[in-house]
Chain A
Amino acid sequence: MQWRGVRFTVALTLGGVVLALSALAPLLATHDPRAAAPEAQLQPPSREHLFGTDLLGRDVYSRVLYGGRRTFAVALLTVVITLGPGLLVGAAAGATGGWVDGLLMTLMDALLAVPALVLALALLALLGSGSVQIAAAVGIAGIPAYARVTRAAVLEARARPYIEAARAIGARPAGILVRHILPTIAPPLLAFAGVTLSWAILNSAALVFLGFGGDIAAPDWGVMLADGRQAFRTAPWVALAPGVALSLTVLAINWLADGIDRVTRR
């Protein structure tokens, strides 16, 4: 049990560090993340370039810092796009039941039946390339899972004895919803929002990696991993830094979500 506590602390620290580094990128960066320097191509890590330079001679360290900001911005937008409709559909299905529930959930199942990345790619065929388009595509692909979790949480909350009791003594439905159901379902939904965030980071970076980000010069972990793939035979550091940053971020968010889930359950 102690280990869980340690893990949560590690995750909290790690998450805080990543956020701070991204926020302070303009102060911490040593180079312009977009400035190419043809004379300094693919240099190994050194004093001048902490994590080395990429194919165009850009400083990998500065690009990783700025990449964090971009990655977080896109991922947060993705989560916002997922959460609104996901909560609405899930709550509506869980609260009403009957044919509304059946209809909404069949619709969600239909969306869920297509792998998220395939669905997001199909949406990109419609929307075109770009960061906002990626956030929209991944966000929409995330809606069915969030709706399912919301519905399950609402159903579970409605079956709680104290909510049954509130209904039995004649409390108004709106009052029950705000005072009893919302506090009950908030923790699991928050934990799943965390899972959605790390999922959004992985999938939006995947689409950027595949070349749908619109801006191929941007300091972005997905772009950098794609650049690193071109150069890995001679310069593995180009992919190493953004890859480690991405994995640590996702790991931290997953463990934080885990911790929230564990602490608030029951």
Chain B
Amino acid sequence: MLPFLARRGAMALAVVWLAASLSFVALRWAPGDALDATMARAGASEAQIDAQRAGLGLDDPLPIQYGRYWLDVARGRWGVSLVTGQPVLELIAQNARPTLTLALAALGVALALGVTLGVMDGLGRPAALRWAAGGLAALALATPVYWTSTLAIYTFTVALNLLPGVGGSGPRAVILPGLVLGFHTAGSIARVTAASVRDAARGDFVRTARAKGLPEHDVIDHILRVGLLPVVSVVALQAGFLLGGTVITEMIFVRRGLGQVLLAAVTNRDYPVVQGLVILAALVYTTLNAGADALYHRLDPRTRREG
């Protein structure tokens, strides 16, 4: 267990380091950042912009910037926004909560709906139930958030006046965006669950269980114990991807959050903010996946055989 975790942790660190370094190189390479745009708009001269740039250390050679960048990251200084001058980490901290709320709500919906649809698609009887569940899952995969949101807001806010739509606040405001984002995510979870459950149902242990006359619901219980294991990995994967989904959802529902911060930063070429969010996303993703692997390791004795 321990060497496995250590190896997994080292790999996760390597991945985050590489992701951060790639984004560092790519973004420093880029021409014309927000500093140019904002200061020129404020009427600053070329010399003033250069002075500001030198003050921020942006004109040093790349290797030196890179070294200083990692020292800063390690010390918790993730640079400052080129637009507002606010520290990136502070910006992230201020906007993390609404995004986390939305992501958790969506994940809850996705997990409940995805596993239900997946199990029904994989094992459901009669066949019509399988078709319906499979069809709904396929539909969820094929309807992106930027189209279901409009539909959902029209139905639940405009027509039925049940739920707050755009720009709402308070706990009720998270319901609709959470449902919409969760529905799309449920498609992937259902797909993997169905395949895995179907696979498990073909296992030898299932034939044995049936042969010795176990009641059907006990057989199903056996199947699900094996068949639902991969859900752990998919959920970790999807949770990592939710930051991508929240970008669009937050924009449509006009919610404060990291997605909105990222959108603004991309539009303004505010490189330090973009970079901070890329590193954050990589960190979240690798942490979740390492956690899922460790959990898998505990849940499934078959994975423990090799070291």
User: Hey, which bits of chain A sit against chain B, CB under 8 A?
Assistant: 3, 106-107, 109-119, 121-126, 198, 202, 205-206, 209-212, 222, 225-226, 228-229, 232-233, 236, 239-240, 242-243, 246-248, 250-251, 254-255
Contacts and interface: CB of A to CB of B under 8 A. Distances in A.
B281 to A, nearest CB: 5
A3 B139 contact: no
Interface in B24-42: 26-27, 29-30
Contacts of B123: none
B103 to A, nearest CB: 11
The 7 closest A-B pairs by CB, nearest first: A117-B244, A115-B244, A110-B18, A243-B147, A250-B142, A113-B282, A251-B142
Contacts of B265: 125
Interface in B219-247: 240-245, 247
Contacts of B278: 114, 118-119, 122
A125 B27 CA distance: 8
A228 B266 contact: no
A113 B154 contact: no
Contacts of B251: 210
A208 to B, nearest CB: 9
A113 B151 CA distance: 31
A212 B262 CA distance: 13
A48 B269 CA distance: 44
Interface string B250-288: 011000000000110111010100110110011001100
Contacts of B131: 3
Contacts of B88: none
Interface centre among A112, A118, A243, A250 (most CB of B within 10 A): A118
B277 A118 contact: yes
Nearest to A233: B158
A123 B269 CA distance: 10
Q: Size class of B's contact patch?
A: 35 or more
Interface of B: 11, 14-16, 18-19, 22-23, 26-27, 29-30, 127, 130-131, 138-139, 141-144, 146-147, 149-151, 153-154, 158, 240-245, 247-248, 251-252, 262-263, 265-267, 269, 271, 274-275, 277-278, 281-282, 285-286
B139 A251 contact: yes
Nearest to B144: A202
B285 A113 contact: yes
Given A125-B274, A247-B142, A111 B22 contact: yes
A110 B286 CA distance: 9
* Chain B contact residues, majority secondary structure: helix
Given A118-B277, A255-B138, A239 B22 contact: no
A257 to B, nearest CB: 11
B15 A109 contact: yes
11 contacts: A107-B18, A110-B18, A113-B19, A113-B281, A114-B282, A118-B262, A119-B278, A123-B26, A125-B274, A229-B252, A233-B158
Contacts of B282: 110, 113-114
Interface centre among A109, A225, A232 (most CB of B within 10 A): A109
Contact of B150 (A110, A114, A212, A225): A225
Contacts of A110: 14-16, 18-19, 22, 282
B18 A106 contact: yes
Given A113-B285, A229-B150, 15 more contacts: A106-B18, A110-B14, A113-B281, A115-B244, A117-B248, A118-B244, A118-B262, A202-B144, A206-B248, A209-B248, A225-B147, A225-B150, A229-B146, A233-B154, A243-B147
Contacts of A202: 144
Given A114-B278, A126-B30, A232 B269 contact: no
A246 B147 contact: yes
A122 B245 contact: no
B139 A126 contact: no
A110 B21 CA distance: 10
Contacts of A109: 11, 15, 18
A255 B15 CA distance: 34
Nearest to A250: B142
Contacts of B263: 121, 210
B14 A243 contact: no
Contacts of B158: 232-233
